[in-house]
Chain A
């Protein structure tokens, strides 16, 4: 063990610049590593170093690429001030001061586990079980070989206490034993007990001094191989190299202090388990402390399993005692723990009583001081290495994970995140169906709320969205026209009708939906404008759906009616609709019953006449060479005189589309003429001649123009046309909403303001067993009793604050006070975005804020029958929520972000101060 290569490695330090490019990192909270933190800020990285660290953006940042981490927490690269990464091989010799730990470090081995824990700098220990095992080193966990070395020698380690009393005897035979030079017995080495350690250490240093005076290169006892270069010992004596003394017991620590005092050396105490017993001495000496502590349970339990065990173990209490010294303290996981648990370890010491800022310093800035590398790492400051760690949340929170680790400006580690897991943490969470939660977490998985609570742990790898404000459920607007602005033509909103396929016509990217979404309205119940007694069909839609699948909550959520006045016939239209719908339902029930019973024949077969050239089933296709595929036509036709009835279904790529009725059909003089609607192109005509069961015709009117050839494949009257077999009723879209109402699958929303109308509507609802919600039932505010025992819910248009004879009446408040479920609606199109403002207005006029929140979340969802999906932050429901900078009904509060269907669809956090 002759001279090693520390000097060569040290020379490489200066060339540590790795990343040549400059870039800006925009951060959320930044912990600087010296106990201070910034609420948010910027780092400017250039050539692997930090050029700017501050709350304000660096000048000239506009021209540089920006890494946007504004919802992340940034800490300095973590420092593990004690590791065995250089192996832990003790030689046989008690005194080997010229051994350098970094010489045993494998630079080719990836330190991914360390990087995964945010550890960018590590101390390499030389051996641990010899009196003077050698010099410790400090390296980065990432980078090009030699450039990773921060200090090839940062200390000279000495070992006090038990570990260094067990070196083996040295057997040093000569090359060829002779009578003059016989074999000598193995030489035992000092120390074998504590009592001799200090004496032996003093002797070693004295010997080095003597050797220096005499100009000797090597000193040491025994044969050649136990000679060593005393340079490191002399550096200690000159005050250039600190002594790092492993000293567990109180008296070991005393001796370490005594030694350092005698040598005039700076001292780092390694694992001083009983530091509390000599705290005053340690403090007076200004010794720094490095502690290795167990992290994982199920291993050695700090605290001592055997109370008679005399060997002191490093416990969390030692960390607390060391923290009280107010001297630099470094923490690292014990030898059988993972470096990636360093943050956890720091948190564990906080649990035991170490102040949190100090625990964080003990793995960053203070750890750097302990290792003597504070000029390069440990603190985020201009001029230091750009080593930083991107965390999902508070550094000491259990659920926090290291998302990225940068070393000298280079991305050294990036965690493969769980894109499907989102955790929203807020100072306050209002679930709308329970009490407010403080410092709570909403956990989202696969677009659904997985859990909500104050004590939720954030799963490993989850994406974390944080706010110091308030999280509320996405708002539900129970009556609006958002998304319909382009439907009615000329920008007009169409008048509502029962057969409107609202869910089909609303476009996902409609700007009025986007406006509502930006305001936090995630669900809208859309219909045309109220007008006639039977008004619009209402569909529940998401405003922030990323795809068509996510758009529709319920295609028929409600059917709207208008029953105004005191006219006893006001409900006639409704009654008539109910009657028709009941027959419609019966035809379906009959069909379904027959289907269930396996009846194939419901109607006797009708034999067509042999001369009928038309009746039967035809199959053909469109002969258009410009189309990349053929379009087939299936025709069910029945001839009655000259009239032809039936259906046409087109077949695209082998799939038969739902058939459409023939609107007008004639057969005269061998010429067949059919008009029917093709779903995508309006009405078309098919005209041609029929001969010998063959049709030769031309299709015109739509975009599918061209010749059609068809053959009659059956001459039986088709079942749907009164022929034989089971006949499926036709879907009547105008009756479908009422069918859903009568079957209990949707809700009737009846606009009825005056008391008599309200009473009649509720009676009608009771008679027909239709779940009914009243719209703008203003009179109920005065006499809530008219809402019946079950207290029908009420939707209120925004002008719910009335002025009656100079007296202000807040209808929303009065109904709420009466225990009525009230929902405030926007009754608007682009104006749906003001829904939260209407609620705030209600609060300003006396409505309880909780009630106001329910009036735009849980109540509309419940009244419209979509509370299984939306309306509250309840596990199992859709993950629709809004992050407000403050109370949702403070008009000064801003929407920070909106999550819809589990995705962050609005993110305003970059705007304005946070």
Chain B
């Protein structure tokens, strides 16, 4: 299928979808059952295993760490029901067992870490941030509108104070993306927030391709790409170059063409078309979110999620659901509607489907597909908990809020086989909270990354 064929197909699909959404959506919304609730995220045909990734680089597994047995009054594994009086075993970077204290035997050689009345949860995941960028200038090169050769992976320093802030807030995985100063800012990096080196902390590079729409990347130069229309065209142009490069390599791999010349600027775009990693789109208003879904997801068929989804874009949640585009909302937790002065919780809006969306979630389960982000250092990662709590206060169900900072972002970024829940075999990233993590009064007592205790709250000195 060539580019124009993609385009046509996407156009048709979106028109039909919008027609369905705009007519009496409340009645048409089916009463969701359990299966329908778990949102189908569109991954394209992504490789089934890490080993099959050709462009993306995955961080190390089984990072050496001591053998610990964490005991806590309450363990929330996320993937299963809460466990009272639980035990979590970890060794060499991995979770070994999660279960009731009465059922899990602590093997010899495991050091018992008694967390007392704490709640033990998986480490939080934040999909929109600029962690480890002391200056905003580091991540915004705005000479060109699209910069597919840029990458954040070279900018990481583990001792940056935003990293320490993250650990104090229970955030253990971060998607560190370029700034939104240009339309296509470059490739972000999925990294742990602790590690003896950036290499050890790496989860996956690229974590995503960062695209920013409207607002921030609008430029004063007046040339092509200065406004929304030009930017959309610029994205399309660059992505088409990337697809041609990808197709040339596919042809070569299948023995149907010559070996293409290596192109640093197009190299990572190739992985995008192999669906090895998603596009994360900083897009926050109805119109451009629609454009994201139309162009990136439907026209190019790329694995896409919305980042920084604020303002009134929640009105498109039905379209997002239908196209498999999940949402990370934040850091603004609410939206004042200028027409009727209504006050809408953004996360709740996305969750509930907004004016065009569905309104009948199943209690106690919640919907996948919504995450909450901080935009650190704009909002410190230590406040991801508060962003989630704000979401709850403005209508997001409690258990959804917890999933929105754990398993949901893990699924959106395609790293849920490593992080996002407490499951034996996953990375030992866990956090001991003083109580319910979505309660603003609760705080982090201890943070574990890759099986190593990397943060303990100092009672004399809050945070760190």
**Min C-beta distance of B180 to chain A, whole Å:** 12
A residues in contact with B152, CB < 8 Å: 195
CB <8 Å contact, A195 and B141: yes
**Min C-beta distance of A532 to chain B, whole Å:** 92
Q: Does B354 contact A (CB under 8 A)?
A: no
Nearest residue (CB) in B for A160 is: B154
CA distance A206 to B152 in the complex (A): 21
A residues in contact with B221, CB < 8 Å: 185
Kindly identify, within residues 10 to 43 of chain A, every residue whose CB is under 8 Å from any CB belonging to chain B.
none
Nearest residue (CB) in A for B222 is: A185
Q: Does B363 contact A (CB under 8 A)?
A: no
Q: Does B151 contact A (CB under 8 A)?
A: yes
A residues in contact with B155, CB < 8 Å: 194-195, 251
Q: Does A202 contact B (CB under 8 A)?
A: yes
A residues in contact with B134, CB < 8 Å: 249, 310
Q: Does A192 contact B (CB under 8 A)?
A: yes
Q: Does A589 contact B (CB under 8 A)?
A: no
19 A/B residue pairs, CB under 8 Å, sorted by A = A165-B137, A165-B141, A189-B143, A190-B141, A190-B143, A193-B140, A193-B141, A194-B137, A195-B147, A195-B155, A196-B141, A199-B151, A199-B264, A203-B264, A249-B157, A251-B156, A254-B154, A254-B157, A310-B135
B residues in contact with A165, CB < 8 Å: 137, 141
A residues in contact with B157, CB < 8 Å: 249-251, 254, 277
CA distance A198 to B138 in the complex (A): 12
A residues in contact with B137, CB < 8 Å: 162, 165, 192-194
**Min C-beta distance of B147 to chain A, whole Å:** 7
A residues in contact with B159, CB < 8 Å: 250, 277
CB <8 Å contact, A162 and B154: no
Nearest 4 pairs of A and B residues by beta carbon: A196-B141, A310-B134, A193-B141, A194-B138
CA distance A737 to B134 in the complex (A): 88
B residues in contact with A188, CB < 8 Å: 142-143
CB <8 Å contact, B143 and A195: no
Kindly identify, within residues 261 to 318 of chain A, every residue whose CB is under 8 Å from any CB belonging to chain B.
277, 310
Number of A-B residue pairs at CB separation under 8 A: 80
CA distance A165 to B136 in the complex (A): 12
Q: Does A258 contact B (CB under 8 A)?
A: yes
* Given contact pairs A199-B150, A251-B154, A255-B154, A193 touches B264 in the complex (Cβ within 8 A): no
Nearest residue (CB) in B for A309 is: B134
Q: Does B357 contact A (CB under 8 A)?
A: no
Q: Does B250 contact A (CB under 8 A)?
A: no
Q: Does B139 contact A (CB under 8 A)?
A: yes
Q: Does A191 contact B (CB under 8 A)?
A: yes
CA distance A582 to B381 in the complex (A): 103
**Min C-beta distance of B175 to chain A, whole Å:** 15
Q: Which single member of B138, B223, B264, B265 contacts A195 (CB below 8 Å)?
A: B138
CB <8 Å contact, B156 and A195: no
Chain A, 605-625, contact with B by CB distance < 8 Å: what is the 0/1 string? 000000000000000000000
Nearest residue (CB) in A for B148 is: A199
Q: Which single member of A192, A198, A254, A255 contacts B143 (CB below 8 Å)?
A: A192
Q: Does B186 contact A (CB under 8 A)?
A: yes
Nearest residue (CB) in A for B147 is: A196
**Min C-beta distance of A471 to chain B, whole Å:** 53
- Number of B interface residues in the complex (CB < 8 A): 32
Nearest residue (CB) in B for A277 is: B159
Q: Does B240 contact A (CB under 8 A)?
A: no
Q: Does B206 contact A (CB under 8 A)?
A: no
CB <8 Å contact, B135 and A191: no
CA distance A893 to B334 in the complex (A): 91
CA distance A189 to B223 in the complex (A): 15
Chain B, 76-87, contact with A by CB distance < 8 Å: what is the 0/1 string? 000000000000
CB <8 Å contact, B138 and A193: yes
CA distance A47 to B154 in the complex (A): 52
**Min C-beta distance of B196 to chain A, whole Å:** 10
CB <8 Å contact, A195 and B140: yes
SS of A interface (majority)? helix
Q: Does B349 contact A (CB under 8 A)?
A: no
A residues in contact with B185, CB < 8 Å: 195
Chain B, 262-298, contact with A by CB distance < 8 Å: what is the 0/1 string? 0011000000000000000000000000000000000
CB <8 Å contact, B154 and A198: yes
B residues in contact with A251, CB < 8 Å: 132, 154-157
CA distance A277 to B198 in the complex (A): 12
B residues in contact with A250, CB < 8 Å: 157, 159
CB <8 Å contact, B141 and A191: yes
Kindly identify, within residues 231 to 264 of chain B, every residue whose CB is under 8 Å from any CB belonging to chain A.
264
Chain B, 195-211, contact with A by CB distance < 8 Å: what is the 0/1 string? 00010000000000000
CA distance A836 to B159 in the complex (A): 68
Chain A, 175-198, contact with B by CB distance < 8 Å: what is the 0/1 string? 000000000010011111111101
CA distance A748 to B322 in the complex (A): 124
CA distance A203 to B221 in the complex (A): 25
Kindly identify, within residues 87 to 145 of chain B, every residue whose CB is under 8 Å from any CB belonging to chain A.
132, 134-135, 137-144
**Min C-beta distance of B264 to chain A, whole Å:** 6
A residues in contact with B138, CB < 8 Å: 193-195
CB <8 Å contact, B139 and A195: yes
B residues in contact with A191, CB < 8 Å: 141, 143
Q: Does B301 contact A (CB under 8 A)?
A: no
Known contacts A199-B264, A310-B135, then 5 further A-B pairs from the complex at CB < 8 Å, ordered by chain A residue: A193-B141, A195-B141, A199-B151, A250-B157, A254-B157
CB <8 Å contact, A258 and B154: yes
CA distance A189 to B186 in the complex (A): 17
**Min C-beta distance of B193 to chain A, whole Å:** 16
A residues in contact with B439, CB < 8 Å: none
CA distance A185 to B224 in the complex (A): 12
CA distance A568 to B357 in the complex (A): 139
B residues in contact with A202, CB < 8 Å: 264
Kindly identify, within residues 183 to 232 of chain A, every residue whose CB is under 8 Å from any CB belonging to chain B.
185, 188-196, 198-199, 202-203, 206
CA distance A480 to B150 in the complex (A): 93
* Most chain B CB inside 10 Å of its own CB: which residue of A188, A192, A196, A258: A196
B residues in contact with A258, CB < 8 Å: 154
Q: Does B416 contact A (CB under 8 A)?
A: no
B residues in contact with A310, CB < 8 Å: 134-135
Q: Does B331 contact A (CB under 8 A)?
A: no
Q: Does B149 contact A (CB under 8 A)?
A: yes
CA distance A195 to B178 in the complex (A): 8
A residues in contact with B151, CB < 8 Å: 195, 199
Nearest residue (CB) in B for A278 is: B157
Kindly identify, within residues 142 to 200 of chain B, every residue whose CB is under 8 Å from any CB belonging to chain A.
142-144, 147, 149-152, 154-157, 159, 178-179, 181, 185-186, 198
B residues in contact with A192, CB < 8 Å: 137, 140-143
CA distance A251 to B140 in the complex (A): 16
CA distance A310 to B137 in the complex (A): 12
CB <8 Å contact, A195 and B150: yes
**Min C-beta distance of B26 to chain A, whole Å:** 46
CA distance A669 to B384 in the complex (A): 138
B residues in contact with A249, CB < 8 Å: 134, 157
A residues in contact with B222, CB < 8 Å: 185
**Min C-beta distance of B212 to chain A, whole Å:** 14
**Min C-beta distance of A161 to chain B, whole Å:** 9
CB <8 Å contact, B139 and A194: yes
CB <8 Å contact, A193 and B154: no
**Min C-beta distance of A732 to chain B, whole Å:** 92
B residues in contact with A193, CB < 8 Å: 137-142, 179, 181
CA distance A193 to B132 in the complex (A): 14
B residues in contact with A203, CB < 8 Å: 149, 264
CA distance A193 to B140 in the complex (A): 6
CA distance A202 to B134 in the complex (A): 24
CB <8 Å contact, B154 and A196: no
* Most chain B CB inside 10 Å of its own CB: which residue of A250, A251, A255: A251
**Min C-beta distance of B117 to chain A, whole Å:** 37
CA distance A195 to B148 in the complex (A): 11
A residues in contact with B198, CB < 8 Å: 254
CA distance A255 to B159 in the complex (A): 16
Chain A, 798-812, contact with B by CB distance < 8 Å: what is the 0/1 string? 000000000000000
